[in-house]
Structure 1
Amino acid sequence: MDFASLGVLTGIVIALGEFFKKVGVNPKLIPILNIACGCSFGVAFMGVGIREGLMYGLVIGLTAGGFYSGSKNLIENFK
């Protein structure tokens, strides 16, 4: 398990969330998609068992959602 790969996978999930938003997916579904993508990436790419992969994936998805909502709130405050 490498913490750098957590950061890279989080960035990929953030980019996928933005892609889904641009394609026209309902913005209220983006957090669910972040968690689903994070869990699948955690199991596929973290090189651990399924349970640990799901836990890492949950962290990846929730972190991606936090960055998304945090940056959105920050931008709205400066408008």
Structure 2
Amino acid sequence: MFEIYDVAIIPLILGVVELFKRAGLPKKYSPFLAVILGLLFGIFYLGTSIKQGIIVGLMLGLSASGLYSGTKNMAKSDK
């Protein structure tokens, strides 16, 4: 199932989303892309059943999109 070192997938998802944004993806679609990437990692990378992969993938994608928006909000409040 999900190991503690698999949490490192979250910053990887953030990095891939950032690459897509620099390639021209509108910022409003970033959370959707993060969830989709999380689902893909959960289903294909972790090698668990489909149901477990979907649940873990959603957790990874939503965590990545929350981490992105949380850091963005912190950066805005500093200004």
TM superposition shift of 1:47: 2.3
Match of 1:3 in 2: 4
1:1-79 aligned within 5 A: 1=1, 2-5=3-6, 7-79=7-79
Structure 2 stretches of 5 or more lacking a match? none
Which region of structure 1 is more displaced relative to structure 2, 15-24 or 67-76?
Answer: 15-24
How much is the aligned-residue C-alpha RMSD, in angstroms? 0.8
Secondary structure in 1 matching 2:25: coil
Structure 1 stretches of 5 or more lacking a match? none
> Which TM-score applies when normalising by structure 2?
0.93
Which aligned segments of 4 or more residues in structure 1 are displaced greater than 4 angstroms?
none
Secondary structure in 2 matching 1:48: coil
> Which TM-score applies when normalising by structure 1?
0.93
| Percentage of pairs with the same residue | 33
